[in-house]
Chains A and B, each alone.
Chain A
Amino acid sequence: MKILVAVKRVVDYNVKVRAKADGSGVETANVKMSMNPFDEIAIEEAVRLQEAGKAKEIVAVSLGVAACQDTLRTALAMGADRGILVETDVELQPLAVAKLLKAVVDQEQPDLIILGKQAIDDDANQTGQMLAALLGWAQGTFASRIEIGAGEINVTREVDGGLETIAIKLPAVVTSDLRLNEPRFVKLPNIMKAKKKPLAVLKPAELGVDVAPRLVTLKVQEPPKRQAGIKVDTVAILVDKLRNEAHVI
């Protein structure tokens, strides 16, 4: 089986993101960038399938600016076999990413595609579902467990009421949730090895995809800050405040 994994370069989850003063976007200058945490989980899952003898090749794909090569190198260090960067400076929205990925999938013909369920920058939670739709494939979103069977895969999904298991035919798209696995730390020798793994660079035009954004961001701004309240000394005072001041119990 061949697995394709999509990885996104995002502002690191520890960074406190701020809006630019002119409202045109968020401050990204001198900000630490990392692989989207859900995508680390996606790569980890692919590597585990390979280690279990269930996958032959893992191709990592990233889309965006040239610096996404760093993200791909991380994926290669985690165990992906080769990388593909679809390079563009244009703002890529989920539909455009799904179309580009579809074009890559048409070339690569993987049996399984794993993506993170959401990217922690735009918090869209769309790309995997859109890609599945464009390919006409089944989707197993928000996966906390996958089990490869004959021609199909069982996906246990994190849903609002608990867990749900579905069986989907291969080829299929899976998106990872937090409990799918715990990604490994990359070891130095693997980082060195990753530098020698193949990494191809493509352009959207070569893939014949129009990536023009469909949504125009008019402004970004920070929401009103919540003010810290008071500290209370005892549980009795707390209960009294909740009852007689806040009127919530």
Chain B
Amino acid sequence: MSILVIAEHDNAVLKAATLNTITAAAQLGSDITILVAGQGCGAVAEAAAQVIGVKKVLVADAPHYANQLAENVAALVVSLAGSYSHILAPATAAGKNTLPRVAALLDVAQISDVIKVESVNTFVRPIYAGNVLATVQSKDGIKVMTVRGTAFPAATATGGFATVEAVAAVADAGVSRFVSQQLTQSNRPELTAARIIISGGRGMGNGDNFKLLEEVADKLNAAVGASRAAVDAGFVPNDYQVGQTGKVVAPDLYIAVGISGAIQHLAGMKDSKVIVAINKDEEAPIFQVADYGLVADLFVAIPELSRELDQLKAAG
């Protein structure tokens, strides 16, 4: 088995999702290569070379890889694919954008959101919003798959000594170009990496009220998430959405506030270690998955929670 893992990064930092994918790769075999495609991404390659379990890092450094345009990254991966039995990427927006393109060009299936490696050709993946798990076996020569980060622990980020090798860029496909981005600025941890998440739903009423959650989040060093309803209503940006068609998270503690618990929302958070639900409707389905449920008006409960956390801190 020789496994190629596509690194997720922003040209400066290797994203944590890559580390989870490397753990999945290690369950397939020990010959693991990381591909870093970007522009001025030397620091990312160095970081990748230190991850325990990685043998080799390939770097393709060219302007047309700066923004991970799928047409260009896929062509690059295909140019290297012949040497590998498996090609993996994190099941992130970038991985989901590029990897199906790679698979189609190789004329193989792509396996999405792998949560378990049963053998080198058999994998488990959720379908129907995680209501059922499918065990699938690939008949293709090269297995191309995205890996769900919450299902695999992160590989150790430092202590390894992989070799770093430059690879030739493939010519710019010239059909797409990056125009601009509007990234959400936050000093809080990233949703998919946070140990604690507090999410708000339609019950928050408006975007301003999310400040109540942010205040609690800052006291817990937590990330802030949301339901689709809260995003659709414009309370918070799209990247806050947790669920079947948003982000999948599994923190130690997930606090759902004013969220009813639709199956599509549960799909994104039901593997959290501890779930707290705060909702004024005692019949809300979210209580069926909550370890601790508090039936209360959030506008009373959240300020109180904030004060209790202050007291806790004062007490040490």
Contact = CB atoms under 8 A, between A and B. Distances in A.
Given A26-B128, A235-B301, A138 B175 contact: yes
Contacts of B239: 158-162
Contacts of A229: 275, 290-293
Contacts of A178: 228, 231-232, 245
B177 A167 contact: yes
A236 B308 contact: yes
A166 B196 contact: no
A120 interface: yes
Contact of B291 (A158, A159, A218, A246): A246
Give the bracket for the number of chain B residues in contact with chain A. 35 or more
A161 B136 contact: no
Contact of B93 (A158, A216, A241): A158
B194 interface: no
Give the bracket for the number of chain A residues in contact with chain B. 35 or more
A169 B263 contact: no
A129 B100 CA distance: 6
B127 A122 contact: yes
Given A232-B294, A235-B305, A179 B238 contact: yes
Which of A128, A129, A131, A137 has the most C-beta atoms of chain B within 10 angstroms of its own C-beta? A129
B13 to A, nearest CB: 12
A92 B306 CA distance: 51
Interface stretch (B49-57, B104-112, B160-168): B104-112
A141 B98 CA distance: 10
B104 A95 contact: yes
Nearest to B69: A166
Chain B interface mostly: mixed
Interface stretch (A1-9, A15-23, A195-203): A15-23
B101 interface: yes
Contact of B71 (A18, A95, A139): A139
Interface in A104-158: 117-118, 120-134, 137-142, 144, 154, 157-158
Contact of B292 (A166, A216, A230): A230
A187 interface: no
B100 A94 contact: yes
B86 interface: no
A120 B97 contact: no
B189 interface: no
B182 A163 contact: yes
Contacts of A249: 196, 220, 253, 309, 312
Contacts of A238: 276, 292, 294, 305
Given A239-B305, A246-B291, A222 B71 contact: no
A124 B253 CA distance: 28
B9 to A, nearest CB: 12
B179 A120 contact: no
Chain A interface mostly: mixed
B177 A241 contact: no
A235 B295 CA distance: 10
A167 B71 CA distance: 12
A39 B105 CA distance: 24
Nearest to B175: A138
Interface string B116-137: 0000001000111111111111
Which of B69, B94, B176, B275 has the most C-beta atoms of chain A within 10 angstroms of its own C-beta? B176
Nearest to B181: A164
Interface in B188-214: 192, 196
A95 B252 contact: no
Given A142-B93, A162-B238, A169-B176, A248 B196 contact: yes
Given A129-B96, A139-B97, A167-B179, 6 more contacts: A123-B126, A129-B98, A159-B239, A168-B175, A228-B287, A242-B276
Interface of B: 67, 69-71, 74, 92-94, 96-105, 107-113, 122, 126-140, 173-184, 192, 196, 220, 228, 231-232, 237-239, 244-245, 247, 252-253, 263-264, 270, 273-276, 282, 287-296, 301, 304-305, 308-309, 312
7 contacts: A26-B132, A123-B112, A162-B184, A214-B139, A220-B133, A226-B270, A235-B304
Interface of A: 11, 13, 16-19, 26, 38, 93-95, 98, 117-118, 120-134, 137-142, 144, 154, 157-169, 172, 177-179, 214-223, 226, 228-232, 234-236, 238-239, 241-243, 246, 248-249
Q: When A and B form their complex, which 7 residue pairs have the shortest distance between CB atoms, in order from nearest?
A: A229-B291, A129-B100, A130-B104, A126-B100, A214-B109, A133-B104, A138-B175
